[in-house]
Amino acid sequence: MSRLNINIPPGVLYLIKHTPHLLFPPVTVYIFLFLAHVYIPDSMAVSLIGGWTEIFLHILSLPLALTLNVWYTDLVNAWNAWKLGAVMAKSPSLWEDPTPGGFLSILRMSKAMRSGYPAEQLRHRLDTLGHTFNMRILFTDRIFTAEPEHIKAFLATQFEHFEKGEDSRSTFDSLLGTGVFAADGDLWKFHRTLTRPFFNRDRISHFDIFDRHAEEAISQMRERFRQGWAVDFQEVVSRFTIDSATEFLFGKDIGTLNEPLAYPFYAFSSSDNTSNTRSTIKSFAHSFTSAQMHTFHRARWGKHWPLVEFWKDRTKEEMKGVRRVLDPILVEALERKRGKQGEEKEEEGVKEVRDREVGEGETLLDHLINYTDDPVILRDEIMNLAVAGRDTTASILTFTMYMLSQHPEILRKLREEVLQKIGGKRRPTYEDFREMRYLRAVLNETLRLYPPVPFNMRQCKDGALLPPIKPGDKPIYVPPGTRCAYSVLVMHRRPDLWGPTALDFDPDRFLDSRVHEYLTPNPFIFLPFNAGPRICLGQQFAYHEASFFLVRLLQRFGAIELVEEAMPLMGRVPKEWKDEGGIKARERVQMRSHLTMYVVEGLWLKMEEAEEVTEEEV
């Protein structure tokens, strides 16, 4: 909606689109009453209808029509399920939320998103209703699951029945547009085919870009540590990943690491704290995150989100800040294309790029503009890749360092592997990472407990059956158009899938007998990068990038400390968390999610420089 050139508020567009549905019930009542007055004017019932009674009937017609439509849909779905020998997913009782449209549930979800622990509301529902259940939100059924077999159906075995869907495209349109993450069908295949060659082994095994940006990031951190300041590690790695990703994909980084790092909140009045002033790059980071937050909050309203942003698309101003930084990259690439084309005829050019090979040293953006010079399509793809390139690896690194700060024995063991396999100075290689089993186990355990994308969504295209979990159970019928949400965060923490220590941070579970006990028989219990045809193309890129940065960091630093007093008050853990038991009681940072999971107000760390290690000592 927000992509129209005409500046019409989202809510107005929504009402225009739904006007026929909104007018049909009262118009039907009007016609019925008009005909009654014409053909049976002497009827006692007709004579009683008039004035306020007639107005009341017109007003009542809309909720009555909605109720009848819901009842009819329920009957049709129940009938279709019965014909297929299936059942509908279990739903909460009416007593849990007696409000129309599940409005109370929406308020609870909103509160949990603002101040609760990730997936807490969902986990409580799963504990009482089973690992797949149905919830009616705004008179529309939604299925929620943390069941591996059902997630497997969404992503792999019944992939053709589940898509991103029109509701998701509407929700994320102003952020992701027609890019690969929001697209379906042939458009998704087009994007996927174009990007796949840029994530093969040869391209993601050259670490020059990682090394250059990691050195910049670590140097800035080391300078601050020597001054006695804590550093927001989440900010540092977000800059590292966006600079690395933009150079890798577009041939030019956006230079976020050229800006000085932020100081802790209590240093705001310090004369040294020049970095807290707003620059174009800082505005980019703020706008980038804010736009994701707005689109994530839309998700709970589904296709009705314009009613919450009635007069203004809340992402519009934020996206201007993002485009101020990314658009010059696009403009420069288009100018390069025009310079190369010279006097070539357009028809010949189009014919040539159909089967063209990726050139040596060619960036993904260079490759894309050989297929289209439509700035909207190109901008959308840039945004999609920027989101993935920055946030996924930044989340992995942030939560890995959070866990290492809480588990010094694991930090010590990981650093020993780094020094034994690589030493204190040498740059790591692709072959090194293949040998570093403990490093991969640490990353996997972080991805298990703190997956970058904790929640995801699909929409059923034409009806489907989810397989029964227990012997003797019936399959679950999913009606056409149903939105299906799944949480790998909840699934990754289930003790029945991962054993009694499921809530403990223990990298050895990926190395010892537990691999064969839990993971090998059921690989779909671990899905940090999705699975099936839409599995993340950048999975190995993210592993390599995170591994490279961690190795370079642990070559320089030997101790990590979480500095809670450096956190702004809004980011500190609520006192009541400590009384609730489980993993929540052990957390020392707050975390939330937009498209990816992040630490609220940053992960503030201090690190102690390690003594230089000689090759003989190793």
618 against 507, higher pLDDT: 507
Categorize the per-residue pLDDT at 418 as very low, low, confident or very high, splitting at 50, 70 and 90.
Answer: very high
Q: Which residue has the higher pLDDT, 216 or 359?
A: 216
What per-residue confidence (pLDDT) applies to 358? Answer: 66
Domains of the chain, with CATH numbers?
1-83 (no CATH), 188-452+528-609 (1.10.630.10)
Amino acid at residue number 456: N
Average pLDDT of the residues in 91-97: 76
Determine the pLDDT at residue 349. Answer: 44
pLDDT of 301 over the 60 cut: yes
Alpha carbon distance 213, 194 (integer Å): 26
pLDDT number for residue 351? 40
pLDDT tens for 50-88 read: 667 778 887 888 888 888 998 999 999 999 999 999 999
Residues at the binding site are 536
- As a whole number of angstroms, the distance between CA 446 and CA 439 comes to 11
Q: Which of 534, 187, 552 is nearest to 388 (CA)?
A: 534
pLDDT in tens, 311-324: 999 888 888 888 88
Mean pLDDT of 435-439: 98
137-141, 264-268, 331-335: range with lowest mean pLDDT: 264-268
How is residue 310 annotated by DSSP?
Answer: S
212-235 mean pLDDT:
96
CA distances from 533 to 70, 127, 311 (A): 34, 31, 39
User: Given this model, what pLDDT does residue 344 score?
Assistant: 53
* Beta carbons within 10 angstroms of residue 614's beta carbon: 10
pLDDT tens profile 140-193:
899 999 999 999 999 999 999 999 998 888 888 888 888 888 889 998 998 888
Pairing of the two strands 591-593 and 597-599: antiparallel
pLDDT > 90? residue 453: yes
For residue range 598-610, what is the model confidence (pLDDT) as tens digits?
A: 999 999 999 999 8
Average pLDDT over residues 415-437: 96
Predicted confidence (pLDDT) at residue 347 exceeds the cutoff of 50: no
CA neighbours closer than 13 Å in the CB half-sphere of residue 59: 6
Q: Of the given ranges (109-113, 277-281, 515-519, 551-555), which has the lowest mean pLDDT?
A: 277-281
- Please report the pLDDT score of residue 412 as a whole number: 98
Q: How confident is the model at residue 348 (pLDDT cuts 50, 70, 90)?
A: very low
Bigger pLDDT: 38 vs 269: 38
511-535 average pLDDT score? 96
* CA dihedral sign of residues 366, 370, 376, 380: negative
pLDDT band with cut points at 50, 70 and 90 for residue 352: very low
* pLDDT for the residue 115: 65
The label of the residue with tokens 């790092």 reads 261
Q: For 216, list phi and psi in degrees, rounded to 5.
A: -60, -45
Each residue of 359-380: pLDDT tens digit? 667 888 888 888 888 888 888 8
Q: What percent of the chain has pLDDT over 90?
A: 48
Residue 434 corresponds to which amino acid?
R
Per-residue pLDDT at 373 = 82
Average pLDDT for 532-543: 93
Of 17-26, 92-101, 283-292, 378-387, which range is least confident?
92-101
Q: Residue 4 has what pLDDT? A: 47
Q: Give mean pLDDT, residues 266-293.
A: 68
Give 252 or 492, the one with higher predicted confidence. Answer: 492
pTM beyond 0.75: yes
Residue 279 is predicted with a pLDDT of 64
In the predicted structure, residue 222 carries a pLDDT above the cut 70: yes
Round to whole Å and give the CA distance between 171 and 595.
Answer: 12
Please determine, for residue 276, whether its predicted confidence score (pLDDT) is greater than 60.
Answer: no
Under 8 Å between Cβ of 372 and 524: no
Distance of alpha carbon 238 from alpha carbon 257, whole angstroms = 10
Annotated binding site for heme: 536
> On the CB side of 170, how many CA atoms lie within 13 Å of its CA?
19
Task: Check residue 350 and give its pLDDT.
Answer: 42
Query: How many CA within 13 A on the CB side of residue 347?
Result: 0
Q: In whole angstroms, what is the distance from residue 573 CA to residue 600 CA? A: 10
